Chains A and B, each alone.
Chain A
Amino acid sequence: MTNFPFLSVLTLLPLVGAISVACIPRAKAELAKIVALIWSLVVLVLSIFMWVAFTVGSPDRFQFHEKYAWIPSWNASFTFAADGIALVMLMLIAVLFPVVILASWHDVDQSKRSAPTYFALLLAFEFTMIGVFAAADVFLFYVFFEIMLIPMYFIIGSFGSGQKQYAAVKFFLYSLVGGLFMLAAVVGLWVIGGHTFEFSALVDAAKTFDQDTARWLFLGFFVAFAIKAPFFPFHTWLPDSGGAAPAGAAALLVGVMDKVGTFGILRYCLPLFPEASRWFAPAAMVLAVVGIIYAALLAVGQNDLKRLVSYTSIAHFGFIGIGIFAFTTQGGTGSVLYMVNHGLATGLLFIVVGMFVARRGSSLVSDFGGAGKMVPALAGVLFFAGLASLALPGTAPFVSEFLVLLGTFSTNKAYAVIATVGIVLAAAYVLWMIQRTTQGTLNPALEDVPAMKKDLSLREKVVVAPLIALLLVLGFYPKPVTDVINPAVEQTLLDVGTQDPGPSAVADGKAGR
């Protein structure tokens, strides 16, 4: 089974799915939804097989290596390979997409737009997401990095709400600007690195780069990833996009797509430009910490649920950022784990918020109030998602946040301490949001909305159950995931050339929880 071309098949499956769904006539919306769901479940099943086939503790960091010729004269090829970091992200994608497709079941029923198009776009988006994490060729990575904009652009622009055109264009332009900086860096890397795109060859070649060149190239990549992630001050597109996108798509936007930024920093910036990474690390840490505090403060002040969740995500990306640039195994592992957990927690939060918005027809906090009295189960799920999002012990994000802070504290005490303030603020924005929407006296306007009388339907239960289960399981027993992540992070830190201060406490830390 290990010789099975997992990654290329996994990449192509959703593309074939997208084409098949797009071919379904508009009138047969139900059929399109079912077909889309089936495709995403096939992807999930295949990725579970891949997870099983992945050899933990193998000396090869990259497994499932595949290579097919593409543009020989540029040495660009369809090369796929996954290390532990990519593997967990692929799993996250595979889990989130069927959930989101199911959660978006009725999203386009009321719209004038065509349902098959929507679900085809979702699958096309899955194709680009899997591709970007599975690629082991810088050129291929760049290709996926850019084309993932297109399905998301149309999802936001055609199927969003509110200022959707503005949000879609802003999203596209921000990402494209980042992508073009990266293009310059990719071209430079290709030329200086000896006309190859092969990741491992470039890592070797990068050792001979002179200092200034490497720093400029680092900056090209970093800006692209910082916009995608997004880090302060490149974040302003995310609240607009997250606020305008349909809730399911927004869950994918922050849950999966933004991880490309942090993944890219770990996978490309650090190993390719180790000296530059160390040189820029203080600046990146400052941006990350500012992002944690600033976005958290803004989140407190939001009156729009979807924008609020978007801001919380920016704060969380700050945590991922400090974990990466702390250059410790705990910090790095914590960051990768955070990417997964944040995808699950914020994905759940977005999906639940979407359920509220679909019932109420508004995403404003002030339009709710005491909603828990009408939809207790849904409000309970929101409460759980909120607690997971603020990293309550027992939920998965706690483990990662703790690891990140631990890893950061051992090298950069001041940043860790300031970042801890972010945890307090997280409690503030989440709890206050929950209080204003589901607790307190019942907003009389809610009683006039018939949809608010319906609590969780079976479909919605099926949607939230796996995410809740995963958040709990990974909260108590993260070892299967950390074991996969750890070797890849250690290898990355080896490439960067930094060492953990003192003996690694990761194993003990896990046992202690």
Chain B
Amino acid sequence: MGELKLPEIDYGALAPMLILFGVACVGVLIEVLVPRRARNLVQLVLALLGVVAALTVLVINRNTRIVTVGGAVAIDGPSVFLQGAILVLGVVSLFLIGERQVEQGGAFVAQAAVVVGSDKDAKQVTGQSGLTEVYPLATFALGGMLLFVAANDLLTMFVALEVFSLPLYLLCALARRRRLLSQEAALKYFLLGSYASAFFLFGVAMLYGFAGSVQLGAIHAAVANPQRSPVLLYAGFGLVAIGLLFKSALAPFHVWTPDVYQGAPTPITAFMAACTKVAAFGALLRVLYTAFEGVRWDFQPVLGTVAVLTMFLGAIMAVTQTDMKRLLAYSSIANAGYLMVGVLALNKDGLASTMFYLVAYGFSVVAAFAIISLVRDSDGEATHLSRWAGIGRKSPLLAGIFTFILLTFAGIPLTSGFTAKFAVFGAAIDGGQTWLVIFGVITSMLLAFPYLRVVVLMWLSEPGETTPAVSIPGFLTSAALGLGVIVTVVLGVAPAPLIDLTREASQFVR
């Protein structure tokens, strides 16, 4: 950790975030300046360029290890790695968001304010060009996420939380079809998210009372050498944890996930499942590993119970689902549980394996949602499970890819799902958390069943009359799908480079 000169700002270290926020602002201006016809292309190219530029700067400055902006932002191994992960997954998600060929006009509503069921609504469904505000919104969200994983004090973390959450609430409401569902999802997400933020903020206040500072390093010092009542510490920690558990979709704060995943436009669901998960777990890792490492014996059993509960709820509820998006939502909840197993290892390997898992899962889940966006009929996506019967017969390639993704989620070897699970389980046993691994294994057994059910449905069932046609993916969706699958294969067969990268990166600064 270098010498801190409080007012000094290392713009190089902040550059990725500044680029994204700048690009997002330009995006807002484009909405005014560029004619409607050209807007989509311009916005998409701009957003992609922005993310790629941010990524480039990040890679150039990858060896920066600094605490800057008066201790508010820590650029260290984990934050560089996680920022990179968010940006790469962001590019892939932007591909999905930018897709305009699968559905005429894209997955987003043409005018969000149109009353559902009105004539105008009926007209917009038929192919009016979708909203282009989604690009600046997504870029803002990405910028917020970058800040979230790098925030070195709780207030900055809160600001970042809001910066990336607010655009997500909006994005959830912008589905072109099934708009009531989408709006309901957005409202639920917003209300529950606000509560979670409020808890977080209240917790920050308590911790400030305990430590006299909101900086993670100062809290760490105060934990080691407490000056004030530990009640403030535990209450504050609990409340902050609630805020973070909510964003990570860990039980019992997961209830929003299925509704939001189902209601949100599928590209946004993919975006949330991949990028938000990285951001939320990035912050959780930082808070637990840097600020509260000293009370690990107190929170390990509690958060361990949370992890077990999450895995079980996710796995059991996934069995009962009849909607593909909800099924994947519960599967993502269970995966959050596995991630938590890695987090709770509370050692270097725990950090490295969790980061590996986040990347591996992010790519697979984007590919999964890309496929869901392709299975559709005239009413939009056909997400009900029964509609997928016999799809393997109609489009074997797509069903084959989806089968592969499901096997990944089930943790079959030679897929990234297996290596990721192996990594977190190994770290957890190393960290003395064998019981979490045992529950992880048991829930993996349960979770295999819903995945297998989908495989059976696709390959072994006869196609029904209502089996929808599979759309031919546009270039962007193909790119997202291809990237997701390739990364899943590579991380399953040859994970060594990424494992080494996560290990090198797994050192926090305070």
Contact = CB atoms under 8 A, between A and B. Distances in A.
Interface of A: 69-74, 142-144, 146-147, 149-150, 154, 157-158, 164-165, 168-169, 172-173, 176-177, 180-181, 183-184, 187-188, 190-192
B425 interface: yes
A169 B430 CA distance: 34
A165 B419 CA distance: 29
A183 B503 contact: no
Nearest to A164: B460
B304 interface: no
Contacts of B495: 71
A150 B407 contact: yes
B413 A146 contact: yes
Contacts of A142: 413
A168 B457 CA distance: 12
B101 interface: no
20 contacts: A70-B494, A70-B496, A71-B496, A72-B500, A144-B413, A150-B412, A157-B459, A165-B456, A165-B461, A168-B460, A173-B445, A177-B445, A181-B441, A183-B441, A184-B437, A184-B441, A187-B426, A188-B434, A188-B437, A191-B429
Contacts of B411: 180, 183
Contacts of B422: 74, 183, 187
A165 to B, nearest CB: 5
B253 interface: no
B425 A157 contact: no
Given A142-B413, A183-B441, A191-B430, A73 B500 contact: yes
A176 B496 contact: no
Interface string B475-510: 000000000000000000011100110010000000
Contact of B499 (A73, A146, A158, A192): A73
B425 A183 contact: yes
B460 A157 contact: yes
A184 B426 contact: no
Contact of A73 (B448, B456, B496): B496
Interface in B447-476: 448-449, 452-453, 456, 459-461
A158 B403 CA distance: 14
Given A183-B441, A187-B426, A147 B496 contact: no
Interface of B: 407, 410-414, 418-419, 421-422, 425-426, 429-430, 434, 437-438, 441-442, 444-445, 448-449, 452-453, 456, 459-461, 494-496, 499-500, 503
A187 B425 contact: yes
Contacts of A74: 422, 426, 499
Given A71-B495, A168-B460, A143 B414 contact: yes
A147 B437 contact: no
Contact of A169 (B434, B442, B456): B456
Nearest to A165: B460
Contacts of A181: 441
A158 B413 contact: no
A158 B429 contact: no
Contacts of A187: 422, 425-426, 429, 437
A190 B438 CA distance: 15
Contacts of A147: 412-414
Nearest to B499: A73
Contacts of B500: 72-73
Contacts of B419: 71
A184 B433 CA distance: 12
B425 A173 contact: no
A184 B445 CA distance: 12
A450 B396 CA distance: 37
A188 B429 contact: yes
Contacts of B452: 169, 172-173
B445 A180 contact: yes
A70, A74, A180, A187, most chain B CB atoms within 10 A: A187
A157 B412 CA distance: 18
B351 to A, nearest CB: 14
Nearest to A70: B496
A158 B494 CA distance: 31
Contacts of A172: 448, 452
Contacts of B494: 70-71
A72 B503 CA distance: 12
A241 to B, nearest CB: 14
B413 A71 contact: no
A71 B503 CA distance: 13
B445 A176 contact: yes
Given A183-B425, A187-B437, A158 B412 contact: no
A146 B496 contact: no
Given A146-B418, A173-B452, A183-B441, 6 more contacts: A147-B414, A164-B460, A183-B411, A183-B421, A187-B437, A188-B429
Contacts of A184: 425, 437-438, 441
Nearest to A140: B413
Contact of B449 (A70, A149, A164, A173): A173
A143 B413 contact: yes
